[in-house]
């Protein structure tokens, strides 16, 4: 794995949410302050002699901030949409599973019990084994086996009456819905923003901060105002990073829809 690839930074998801937030903010503010001390005197040589330099820097910063703000906003929305879509897929999969469970409950024995049991087994696997793997960014494989076991067993059933034929056709339709939602969930385990977006975002943040170093003002004021801007940039970056992987980090999609379903299955 390349050290600059986004995957090489995924260990950050193991840090508790609040601490990670502080880490992002601290890194940005620290970078700004360090630059204020070390780089600002050099950079200011380029604008020091210019009259009204603050106006020019302010104008450039405003223009830059418009573009950068737009970019950040759009990326944040995209990341949020990814999370929302993955969440919707999880809900859809659990809902299909629930409908399947209800439908096969109308089958005659021994199919009824066998099929219900296989669905329960699948749900248990998703909660106990698949979710922890997803939270580590690993696509769980063994759920496919359990889904295939259900499919196999379902095909053992040969409808004898028109009512059973209708029910069976509906179950097969529902099964396809479930398999589709399941596949979408698995695909979203690895879904994230492309590397190029991260490069542009990080470069934009650095340039944003660098422009602030060009302002001519009291040092303490520089630290304070620039620090506030850097802190907000850090917060935005943290937000996007947090939403980048739908199943990772403290703020991620939970297995709750499956847990609710499993509890109902157990209670019956």
Contacts with other proteins, residue ranges (CB under 8 A) = 11, 14-16, 19, 22-23, 33, 37, 110, 113-114, 116-117, 120-121, 124, 128, 142, 145-146, 148-149, 152, 217-220, 223, 265-266
CB of 19 closer than 8 Å to CB of 249:
no
Closer to other proteins by CB, 66 or 145: give it: 145
Rounded (to 5) percent helix, strand, coil in the chain: 80, 0, 20
Is the CB of 105 or the CB of 195 nearer to other proteins? 105
CA Rg, the chain, in Å? 26
The number of CA neighbours under 13 Å toward the Cβ of 218 is 4
User: Which tokens sit at 203?
Assistant: 């470069």
Nearer to other proteins, 124 or 190 (CB): 124
Task: Quote the tokens at residue 140.
Answer: 């769980």
Locate 106 and state its tokens. 């109308």
- Within 10 angstroms of residue 224's Cβ, the number of other Cβ atoms is 11
- Which of residues 13 and 68 has its CB atom nearest to other proteins in the complex? 13
Helix/strand/coil (H/E/C) assignment for every residue in 82-135? HHHHHHHHHHHHHHHHHHHHHHHCCCCCCHHHHHHHHHHHHHHHHHHHHHHHHC
In the bound state with other proteins, the residue whose beta carbon lies nearer, of 16 and 52, is 16
Query: Minimum distance from CB of 33 to other proteins (Å)?
Result: 8
Query: In terms of CB distance, is 55 or 121 closer to other proteins?
Result: 121
Give 10 or 68: the residue with its C-beta nearer to other proteins: 10
Q: Residue 84 Cβ, how far from other proteins at the closest point, in Å?
A: 28
**Minimum distance from CB of 181 to other proteins (Å)?**
21
Provide, rounded to whole angstroms, the least separation between the CB of residue 128 and other proteins.
8
Closest approach of other proteins to the CB of residue 268, in Å: 9
Neighbours of 94 (CB within 10 A): 23
**Cβ 176 to other proteins, closest distance in Å?**
18
Report in angstroms how near the CB of residue 88 gets to other proteins at its nearest: 29
Residue that is written with structure tokens 């970056």 in the block: 237
Q: CA 192, CA 201: separation in Å to the nearest integer?
A: 14
Token pair listed for 197 = 């977006």
């Amino acid at each position: 794995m390349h050290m600059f690839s986004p995957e090489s930074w995924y260990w950050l998801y193991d840090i508790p949410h609040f601490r990670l937030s502080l880490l992002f903010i601290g890194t940005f503010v620290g970078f700004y302050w360090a630059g204020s001390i070390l780089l600002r005197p050099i950079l200011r040589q380029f604008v020091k002699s210019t009259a009204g330099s603050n106006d020019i820097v302010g104008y450039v910063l405003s223009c830059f901030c418009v573009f950068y703000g737009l970019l950040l906003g759009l990326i944040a929305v995209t990341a949020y949409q990814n999370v929302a879509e993955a969440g919707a897929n999880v809900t859809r999969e659990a809902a299909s599973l629930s409908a399947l469970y209800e439908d096969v409950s109308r089958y005659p024995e021994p199919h009824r019990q066998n099929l219900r049991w296989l669905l329960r087994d699948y749900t248990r696997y998703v909660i106990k084994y698949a979710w922890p793997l997803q939270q580590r960014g690993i696509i769980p494989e063994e759920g496919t086996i359990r889904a295939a076991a259900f499919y196999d067993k379902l095909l053992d059933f040969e409808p004898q009456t028109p009512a059973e034929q209708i029910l069976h056709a509906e179950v097969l339709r529902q099964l396809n819905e479930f398999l589709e939602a399941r596949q979408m969930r698995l695909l979203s385990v690895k879904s994230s923003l492309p590397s190029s977006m991260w490069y542009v975002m990080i470069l934009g943040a650095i340039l944003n901060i660098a422009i602030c170093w060009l302002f001519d003002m009291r040092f303490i004021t520089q630290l304070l105002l620039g620090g506030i801007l850097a802190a907000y940039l850090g917060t935005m970056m943290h937000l996007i990073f947090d939403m980048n992987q739908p199943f990772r980090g403290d703020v991620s999609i939970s297995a709750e829809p499956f847990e609710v379903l499993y509890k109902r299955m157990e209670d019956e």
